Chain A
Amino acid sequence: MLTIESAHLRYGNRAILEDVSVGIETGSFTVVVGPNGAGKSSLVKLMTGESEPSLGTVRLAGADLSAFSPRALARRRAVLPQSSALSFPFTVAEVIRLGLEAGGHRLMPSAIETALSTVDLSGFEARSFETLSGGEQQRVHMARVLCQIGEPASWSEPRYLFLDEPVSSLDIRHQLSVLRIAHDLSRKGAGVVAVLHDLNLASAFADRILVVSNGRIAADGPPATVICDGLLGEVFATGLKVGRLPPATMPFVLPQTAAFPT
C-alpha cells in the first residue's frame, strides 16, 4: 500500500497540491485525470518519490518514502516518463537493458526479446533508438519499464508502476495494447497508476479514477460514479455529454459540439 497523507506541494510561493490524501492499493489500476496544470504529474511525482511533500507524508508499506534509497525504490516501482530524449546513440536493446539493471534482474537476452514482443516491436533490438518514431520510442520506454518491474512470478513484494501519459504518442491500436499490458499487471498484483487525458480510455480500463483539479482531488471512485456530466463539465470547464454503454453501464464521454448538441 502506498499512501499520501495530507500532502501539500509548493514550488516557492505557488501551491501545486493542497491537502491531498490518497492510498494506492496493489492489484488495482488507478487513472489520474484532470485539466492541464491541475497537478496530475505533480501527484505522480509525490508517489514516485521524485518530489517530496512540503507538508504531510508519503508512505510505502508503512515506511516514509524518503527513507528508501533510490536503488531500493527502483526495485519496487518503475516509472514511464511523459517523454524522454536520448543524447547519445543507444540501440533499442541497450535502452531496455537499463531497465533490467535498474530492477536488479539478470541480463537475459530473452527478457529483452520478450519485452519487445509485448510492445509489438519484435526484431527492433539492434535499431538505433534515435531513428525510431515518437510512438516507437514511447513503446521502447514501456518495454524498458516492464523489464525494470520484472516478471510478476518473481515478485517477493508488491510492485508499483507509474505511467505519465503513456499513450500520448500512440495510435489507437497501441494505446489499447499498452493499457492492456498495464491492466494485466494490475491483475497480477501490481499497483498501477496512469495519467491519461482520454476520458474514454480511463473509463474503459480504470478500477478507480482520481480527478485532480486546482491541486486538489475533486473526485475519487470507480468510473461509473466519477464519469458524469456535472463533475466533468465543471472540472474541465467545457460542455461534455456522458452516455452509458450497456450491459456494464460503462460511461463514455462526447464533447458538446455542433455535431453532438445536448
Chain B
Amino acid sequence: MTLSATQATARGHRAPAAPGDRSAMARRAIAVLLCAFVLVMLVGLGTGPAFLAPNEVARILLAGPDGVGGADTSLADRVIVWQIRLPRVLLGALVGASLAICGAVMQGLFRNPLADPGLIGISSGAALAAVATIVLSGGILAPFAAITGIYALPIAAFCGGLLTTLLIYRIGTRSGRSSMGLILLAGIAIAALGGALTGFLLYLSNDQQLRDITFWSLGGLGGASWTKLLAGAPMMLAAILAAPFLARGLNGIVLGEAEAFHMGVDVQWLKRASVILVALATGAAVAMSGTIGFVGIVVPHLLRLWIGPDHRALLPASALGGAILLILADMVARTVVAPAELPIGILTAALGAPVFLSILLCRRGFAGL
C-alpha cells in the first residue's frame, strides 16, 4: 500500500499531495469505479435470454421507454430493457450500494473492519419483521397489510430494522454515552433471538409462505418492478446521499471517541445519525431483496486496501463498489442456471467468503489482524 501510494505520487498530479496522502489516488479510483458502474449497468441491462450489446442498450435507453427519443428500436427490446431489466438492475445497484455503505459506516463507528449490519442484528430484525408480515398478514397483521398494501414488506422490514437498532442502542447507552462494545454484544444476542423467532414463524408457515421466507433468508432481486423499486428506493437513496456527511466524523472516530471529540466531532450526534442511516438503508435493502451477506464486509475492506481508510472517499467508493458487485452477482444469478434463478445471497457468500479469507491470509500479521 505504501508502495502504491509512492507510485501514485511519483506519477505526478497537478495538485501535489504529500507523500502518503492517498486522496488524489482515491479521486481517480472513484472515477474508475464510476466508469465501471456505467459499463456494468449497460452489460447488466443487455444480459439475459435476449442478449443486447452495451451500445444497443445505450441506444434503447436514450430512445426512452416509448421509443420517441429517436433511433429505431423494437418494442420488444424497449419492454425488455425498460420494463423488465432496468428496475431489476437499478434495484441491484441501490441494494448493493446501501449494503456496502452501511458496512463502511458500521466499521468506522465500531472501529472494527468486521462490523456489519448483519452482525449487530439489524438485518435479522428487518428479516424477522418481513417474515412476520408474510406469515401473519392473513391473521393478526391483516389490518397492517390492508393499510400498507404493496408497501407492507418494506415498511415492516424498515420498522423491524429501526426497532432492533433502537433496542440495541438503548441497551448499549448509559447516562447519555454509548458503549460500542456493549452495542456489538447486545446486537449478537438480539440477532440470535431474531433467528429463533424467525425459526418459530417458519414452523407456523404454510408451503407458499415457506417459499417466500426462503427468499428472504437467501436473498434475490427476482420480482423487481418499477412499483417495488419506488417503494424502497427513497429510503436507500436518502441513506446513500446522506452518508458522505458522516465522513469527517467517522475519520475522527477511527482514532477513538475522545480523540474524535478533541478533533471537533460531535460524537453523540455522529452515533445517532449513523445508526438511523444504517437502519434506514438496511431495512429498505432487506425488504427489497432479503438478507444478502458479505457485500457490506468485502466491498469496504477491498476498497480500503486500494484507496486507504479516509471515509470521504471510502463511502462513495463503497456505494459504487457495492452496486457493481451486486449487479454482477445478479447477472450470474439469473444466467447460470437459466431459465431458473439462483438466490443471490448464495452467490455473494460463495464469492465473498473466499475473497475475504484470502485477504485475511495475505494480511496475517498486518493491520492488527
Chain A residues within CB distance 8 Å of chain B: 48-50, 69-75, 77-79, 81, 84-95, 97-99, 101-102, 109, 112-113, 125-128, 130-131, 148
Contacts and interface: CB of A to CB of B under 8 A. Distances in A.
A87 B113 contact: yes
A126 B308 contact: no
A99 B309 contact: no
B319 to A, nearest CB: 18
Given A89-B308, A94-B22, A102-B252, 16 more contacts: A70-B261, A81-B258, A85-B256, A85-B368, A88-B304, A88-B309, A89-B304, A91-B1, A91-B2, A93-B21, A97-B21, A98-B251, A127-B20, A128-B2, A131-B366, A148-B263
B173 interface: no
A99 B6 CA distance: 22
B266 interface: yes
B20 A70 contact: no
A102 B255 contact: no
B59 interface: no
A94 B263 contact: no
B139 interface: no
Contacts of B263: 74, 98-99, 101-102, 148
B5 A84 contact: no
A126 B262 contact: no
A50 B256 CA distance: 13
Contacts of B308: 89-91, 94
Interface stretch (B11-19, B140-148, B193-201): B11-19
Nearest to A123: B19
A102 B264 contact: yes
Nearest to B262: A79
Interface of B: 1-2, 5-6, 9, 16-22, 111-113, 248, 251-252, 254-256, 258-259, 261-267, 304-305, 308-310, 366-368
Q: Which of B254, B264, B266, B304 has its CB near the most chain A CB atoms (within 10 A)? A: B264
Nearest to B269: A70
Q: Which of A48, A88, A90, A109 has its CB near the most chain B CB atoms (within 10 A)? A: A88
A84 B21 contact: no
A54 to B, nearest CB: 11
Contacts of B254: 86-88, 90
Contact of A84 (B20, B113, B259, B305): B259
Nearest to B16: A109
A97 B19 CA distance: 12
Contacts of A113: 18
B65 to A, nearest CB: 44
A47 B252 CA distance: 20
A126 B368 contact: no
28 contacts: A50-B261, A70-B264, A70-B266, A70-B267, A71-B264, A73-B264, A74-B262, A75-B264, A77-B262, A79-B259, A81-B262, A84-B255, A88-B254, A88-B309, A88-B367, A90-B309, A91-B1, A91-B2, A93-B21, A97-B21, A101-B248, A112-B18, A125-B18, A126-B6, A126-B9, A126-B20, A128-B2, A130-B366
Given A84-B256, A94-B20, A97-B21, A89 B262 contact: no
Contacts of A125: 18-21
Q: Which of B256, B259, B308 has its CB near the most chain A CB atoms (within 10 A)? A: B259
Given A69-B266, A127-B2, A94 B261 contact: no
Q: Which of A71, A75, A92, A125 has its CB near the most chain B CB atoms (within 10 A)? A: A125
Contact of A98 (B112, B252, B305): B252
A95 B254 CA distance: 10
A78 B264 CA distance: 10
